[in-house]
Chain A
Amino acid sequence: MSNQHLSPLREPLVTEPRSLGQLTEEICAPMERAPTWKWWVAFGIAVSVLGTGAGIVGYQVATGIGVWGLNKTIGWAFDITNFVFWVGIGHAGTLISAILFLFRQKWRTSINRAAEAMTLFAVMCAALFPLIHMGRPWLAFWVMPYPNDRGSLWVNFRSPLLWDVFAISTYFTVSAVFWYVGLIPDLATVRDRAKAGIRKAVFKVMSLGWTGSNRTWSRYETVYLLLAGLATPLVLSVHTIVSMDFATSVIPGWHTTIFPPYFVAGAVFSGFAMVLTLMIITRVVLGYEHLITLRHLENMTKIIIVTGGLVSLAYATEFFIAWYSGNPYERFAFMNRAFGPYAWAYWIMVTCNVVSPHLFWFKKIRTSPAAIFVLSLVINVGMWFERFVIIVTSLHRDFLPSSWAMYTPTMVEVGTFIGTFGLFFTLFLLFVRVLPIISIGEVKSVLGFAREGHETQPRPPAKPVAEEPHPVAHRPVSPVPLAIATRKDVPV
C-alpha cells in the first residue's frame, strides 16, 4: 500500500487489517460456498410472497381493474403511491454511487454495489404498478412513440405521464449500465478464481476479457466519471418528473411548485433508509462488519438527518403557503389532511418522518445498528404514508363536495404491494448469491486509508537501494483463518 493516503485525521475505511488477497477471498466467499439455511429460509419466504403477488396480479389482469378499491373520485391511490414509493427507494443507490463519487466520498465504496442493485430492483418493482394500472399490460408498448397504423397517432409529449415513461426507462437503463460497468473488474476477479466449469464460462463471458491493464483502467475511470456525471442530474430529474405527475394538475394539495425538490429530498430520505435496512442485515449475515463499518452507517444516518430536515421543511412550507396564498381550496386541502378523516395517516407520516430522524442527533443511537435498523424501518413506513397522504387526501375531497368519497384498499391492492416486496427481496437474495456485493476493486483502493504501522509500507526512497528486503503484503493478520495459501501457489 502506498502511504499517500496517510493522515492523522482520517479514520480507516476498512477497520480490520486486511491484505488485498484476503479482501478478495472474503468478498468472494459468500458466492463460492453453498447457501446457508438462513439464506434458504429467507429465499423461501421471498419467493412465496412473490408467487402470491404474481397470482394476485394474474387475477386482476384476468378480471379487470374493477377489483381495486378505486372509485370515480379517487382514481389514483395504491398503485401510484407504491410507484412513487419504490422509485424513491431506488434513488439512494444512484445517489451513493454517482453523487458521492463526484464528491470524492470514499466511504461509498463498500456500499455502492449493493445500493445500485437495490436501485435496479426497486425500479423494477415501481415500473410494475403503472403497467398493471393500464389494465391491459400487453398493450404497454403503446406508450412508446413509434410509427403505427392507428392513423399516424402519436403519444402526447406534453403529458407528464409520458415524461415518466422516458424518465423511468432511461433511469433504469443508465443505472443498469452504470452497475454493470462497475462490475466488470470484479467479474474478472471472480473469473480468475473460478475453477473450470459453468461458473468460469459464465464469468468469462460477463467479464468481457478484462485483464486489469492500466490502459483500460484509465479509460474505465473516465467512463465511470462520465456516467456518474450523467447519472447525477438524471436521478434528480426522475423524481422531479414523477412529482410533475401531480404538480402539473390543478388539484389543491398537488398544484405546488415545491414538489420537485420536495420529492427528490423525500426519495433520498427513503432510499437511504432502505439501504440502511439492507446493509445492516447484510453486514451481520455475511460478517462484513469491518467493511460496512459503523462509520458507513453513521454517515448514512447523517444524510438522513439532512434529508429528513428538508422533508420537514417542505411539509411546513406547504402548510404555510396554503394559508398565505389565501386560496380557500388550498387551505381546506391542508386542514383536511391534518384533521380530516385521513388524519391518522397524516400523523403517522409526521411522527415517522419529522420526529424520528431527530433521534439520530444522538451519537449513541447513530452508532447502534439495532436502533438504526428500527428507525430505518420507521422512516420507510413514514415515507410510504407520505405518498399515500399526498395522493388520497388530495383526491378524496376536491372542489365539489358532491363528489367527495372515501377510499379503502382492497385485498388485491394490498396483495400486489406485498408481492412487490417479494420480488424485491427475491432479486436481492439472488444477487447476494451470484455476484460480489461489495466492489472488490474499489475497496482495495481505499484499503490504505489512514492505515498506520504494520499494514502500510513506507514509500521507497527515490533511488532504492539494491536488494532492499521489501515487506510482503500478505501477512496472515486476519483473526479469521482464511484459506489464502491454497491460491497463492501460483508460479510467479
Chain B
Amino acid sequence: MSAPVLIGYFDSEAQVLDATRAVREAGFVLHDVYTPYAVHGLDDAMGLKPSRLTWVCFGAGLLGCTLALSLQYYTSVVSWPLNVGGKPFNSFPAFIPVTFELTVLFAALATVAAFLARAKLFPGSRRAVLPRVTDDRFAIAVAPREAPSELDAAEDLMRRHGAVATDLLEEVAS
C-alpha cells in the first residue's frame, strides 16, 4: 500500500528552511527536502543526525595503514630481506611515506564507496526527479503518518509558508 506523498514547491532557501521547520514542528513526517544546492541549516531544520561516514573513513584509514605496514614488513623483512647500504631490514622511517599514501587512499575510496552505497547512488538508477529541483526550485515532501486527509492541513501550512505550488505524488524516491 502506498500512501500519497505531498510535495510543496518553494522558490527560495529562506522559505524552504522556514517551512521545513514548521512542517516538522506541526508533527508531520518529513519524507525529504529537495534542493538544488546544499542549504546550510536544513539538516538542523529536518532534524537529521550527523552522518556516521566519518567512522567509515577512520576505519578504512586504519585498515590501509595496517595493510601498508604489513606489506612492507613482509616484503622487506620476511620474504626477501635485502641489505641496502647497511640499513636495517625493518627500516621503519623509510616505510612511512608509502604507509601514509595507502592510508589516505583507503580512507578516501572507502568513504566515497560507503557514501554512494548509503545514498543508493549507482549508475543505472531509475529514480524519478522532481521537476526543477536540480535547477532552481526547492521542494518539501511530506509523508502522511495515517490518513491522507492530514495532507490538507500540511498543504495549507506550506502554502502559508510561501509554497508556490503543491502536488500529490504516489511515490517519491528519497
Q: Judging by beta carbons under 8 Å apart, are A167 and B121 in contact?
A: no
Complex Cα gap A324–B50 (Å): 54
Complex Cα gap A154–B105 (Å): 21
Q: Judging by beta carbons under 8 Å apart, are B108 and A177 in contact?
A: yes
Interface status of A339 (Cβ within 8 A of chain B) = no
Q: Which residues of A contact B102 (CB under 8 A)?
A: 166, 170
Q: Decide yes or no: A2 and B84 within 8 Å by CB, A145-B75, A223-B112 being known contacts.
A: no
Q: Judging by beta carbons under 8 Å apart, are B107 and A230 in contact?
A: yes
B residues within 8 Å of A by Cβ?
A: 9, 11-15, 17-18, 32-43, 46, 48, 50-51, 53-54, 57, 71-72, 75-76, 79-80, 82, 84, 87, 91, 94-95, 97-98, 100-102, 104-105, 107-109, 111-112, 115-116, 118-127, 129-137, 159-162, 164-165, 167, 173-174
In the complex, besides A170-B102, A211-B127, A212-B129, 20 extra interface pairs with C-beta distance below 8 angstroms are A152-B80, A158-B94, A160-B97, A174-B105, A184-B121, A188-B129, A213-B119, A216-B119, A216-B174, A219-B115, A219-B119, A220-B115, A227-B112, A234-B101, A441-B36, A459-B18, A464-B161, A470-B15, A472-B164, A492-B167
Find residues 200-228 in chain A having any chain B CB closer than 8 Å to their own CB: 205-206, 208-223, 226-227
**29 pairs, CB–CB < 8 Å, chain A vs chain B:** A153-B80, A154-B76, A154-B80, A163-B98, A178-B108, A189-B135, A192-B132, A208-B116, A208-B121, A208-B122, A209-B126, A210-B134, A211-B127, A211-B173, A212-B134, A213-B34, A214-B32, A214-B33, A214-B43, A219-B115, A220-B119, A222-B53, A226-B54, A460-B162, A464-B162, A467-B160, A474-B11, A490-B131, A492-B167
User: Interface majority SS on A: helix, strand, loop or mixed?
Assistant: helix
A42 to chain B, nearest CB (A): 30
Q: Judging by beta carbons under 8 Å apart, are A223 and B111 in contact?
A: yes
Which residue from chain B places its CB closest to the CB of A158 in the assembled complex? B94
Among B12, B33, B82, B123, which residue has the most Cβ atoms of chain A within 10 A?
A: B12
Which residue from chain B places its CB closest to the CB of A244 in the assembled complex? B97
Q: Judging by beta carbons under 8 Å apart, are A166 and B118 in contact?
A: no
Q: Which residues of A contact B136 (CB under 8 A)?
A: 19-21, 24, 473-474
Q: Which residues of B contact A3 (CB under 8 A)?
A: 14
A residues within 8 Å of B by Cβ?
A: 1-4, 19-21, 24, 145, 152-158, 160, 162-163, 166-167, 170, 173-174, 177-178, 181, 184-185, 188-189, 191-193, 205-206, 208-223, 226-227, 230-231, 233-234, 237, 241, 244, 440-442, 444-445, 448, 457, 459-460, 464, 466-468, 470, 472-474, 487, 490-492
Out of B12, B100, B123, name the residue touching A206 (CB < 8 Å): B123
Q: Which residues of B contact A467 (CB under 8 A)?
A: 160
Which residue from chain A places its CB closest to the CB of B129 in the assembled complex? A211
Complex Cα gap A181–B108 (Å): 11
Out of B13, B82, B97, B173, name the residue touching A448 (CB < 8 Å): B13
Out of B12, B76, B126, name the residue touching A1 (CB < 8 Å): B12
Complex Cα gap A487–B135 (Å): 10
A364 to chain B, nearest CB (A): 36
Complex Cα gap A102–B173 (Å): 32
Q: Which residues of B contact A178 (CB under 8 A)?
A: 108
Q: Which residues of B contact A472 (CB under 8 A)?
A: 11, 164
Complex Cα gap A491–B7 (Å): 13
Complex Cα gap A3–B14 (Å): 8
Q: Which residues of A contact B111 (CB under 8 A)?
A: 223, 226-227
Q: Judging by beta carbons under 8 Å apart, are B51 and A230 in contact?
A: no
When A and B form their complex, which 6 residue pairs have the shortest distance between CB atoms, in order from nearest? Answer: A209-B125, A20-B136, A154-B75, A208-B121, A2-B14, A21-B136
Q: Judging by beta carbons under 8 Å apart, are B98 and A211 in contact?
A: no
Q: Decide yes or no: A158 and B87 within 8 Å by CB, A205-B124, A215-B32, A218-B48 being known contacts.
A: yes
Which residue from chain B places its CB closest to the CB of A446 in the assembled complex? B37
Complex Cα gap A205–B122 (Å): 8
Q: Decide yes or no: A211 and B130 within 8 Å by CB, A157-B72, A226-B53, A474-B136 being known contacts.
A: yes
Q: Decide yes or no: A220 and B38 within 8 Å by CB, A170-B101, A210-B134 being known contacts.
A: yes
Q: Judging by beta carbons under 8 Å apart, are A212 and B165 in contact?
A: no
Q: Decide yes or no: A213 and B32 within 8 Å by CB, A166-B97, A226-B54, A470-B11 being known contacts.
A: yes
Q: Which residues of A contact B32 (CB under 8 A)?
A: 213-215
Q: Judging by beta carbons under 8 Å apart, are A20 and B36 in contact?
A: yes
Q: Decide yes or no: A157 and B75 within 8 Å by CB, A441-B37, A444-B36 being known contacts.
A: yes
Complex Cα gap A184–B38 (Å): 13
Q: Which residues of A contact B94 (CB under 8 A)?
A: 157-158
Q: Judging by beta carbons under 8 Å apart, are B129 and A192 in contact?
A: yes
Which residue from chain B places its CB closest to the CB of A460 in the assembled complex? B18
Q: Decide yes or no: A215 and B119 within 8 Å by CB, A154-B76, A157-B94, A474-B136 being known contacts.
A: yes
B101 to chain A, nearest CB (A): 4
Q: Judging by beta carbons under 8 Å apart, are B97 and A237 in contact?
A: yes
Out of B43, B75, B133, name the residue touching A212 (CB < 8 Å): B133
Complex Cα gap A47–B72 (Å): 42
Complex Cα gap A68–B9 (Å): 65
Q: Judging by beta carbons under 8 Å apart, are A1 and B13 in contact?
A: yes
Q: Judging by beta carbons under 8 Å apart, are B38 and A217 in contact?
A: yes
Q: Judging by beta carbons under 8 Å apart, are A217 and B18 in contact?
A: no
Q: Which residues of B contact A222 (CB under 8 A)?
A: 50-51, 53-54, 115
Q: Judging by beta carbons under 8 Å apart, are B125 and A460 in contact?
A: no
B36 to chain A, nearest CB (A): 6
Which residue from chain A places its CB closest to the CB of B174 in the assembled complex? A213
